[in-house]
Amino acid sequence: MPLHMIENTGNPYIRFQIEENTWSISSETGLEDVDLKGQTILIDISEVKMGWLALQGGRDWLQWPNNNPVGCDKPSDAHKQGFSVTFYSTKLFGDSPSRELSSSQIGMLDFVKALYMAAETNPKFKTHVPKVKIGEAPKRKVGKGSTRTPGFEITGWADRPEELGGALPVASPSAAAVTAPAAAASDDVSFGDEI
């Protein structure tokens, strides 16, 4: 009897290469470049996870309880403060629209902190997901090295997709059962826009 195994390719992810100033997504054949500059995507910033991250010889992640490092000792010198956040786009990410971004790079930590601070003041912060237009990522000096921090603009808010823990769509009633007038459209709904 043969041994049957399922190949584990891991969760789909997205990366920002600081030196090359490029975004890449995982695929079955490796990494593929994706041009995010000027594109609008959903970033589930209210659900960002903070923790200890080591990327030497693979990915080792230890999430901090309640995003607080108190009581969560650093596992090794290779571990640095890092984060994990989900990007979402059916238009740009194909069959895997939900992609994890995790990093411990200073520029990316600055990006996540700035996005969180900009988004958390909006009343929709916990119930919706911000539509984020990705901007330039200028190079800047940090200590003896350099980094890049992508710019961004929050252009609106979207209902939380099912892949990000959103509610399942409610089954629509039959045409014969519809007697109430249609609800007024929300100014946050943009029919035909694909994120």
pTM of the predicted protein model: 0.80
Cβ neighbour number for residue 183 with a 10 Å cutoff: 6
Indicate the residue type of 167.
A
- Total residue count of the chain as it appears in this document: 195
Give the Cα separation of 53 and 75 in Å (integer).
9
**Two tokens, residue 24:** 């890449």
Running DSSP on this structure, what letter comes out for residue 13?
B
Contact 50, 170 (CB under 8 A): no
* pLDDT value, residue 167: 62
Using CA atoms of 192, 193, 194, 195 in order, give the dihedral in degrees to the nearest 10.
-160
Q: Which of 100, 95, 97 is nearest to 28 (CA)?
A: 95
Counts for the chain of helices (H) and strands (E), in that order? 2, 12
* pLDDT value, residue 4: 44
- Which portions of the chain are predicted below pLDDT 70? 1-10, 167-194
Give the Cα separation of 148 and 159 in Å (integer).
30
Running DSSP on this structure, what letter comes out for residue 22?
E
How close are the terminal C-alpha atoms of the chain, in Å? 47
Indicate the residue type of 48.
V
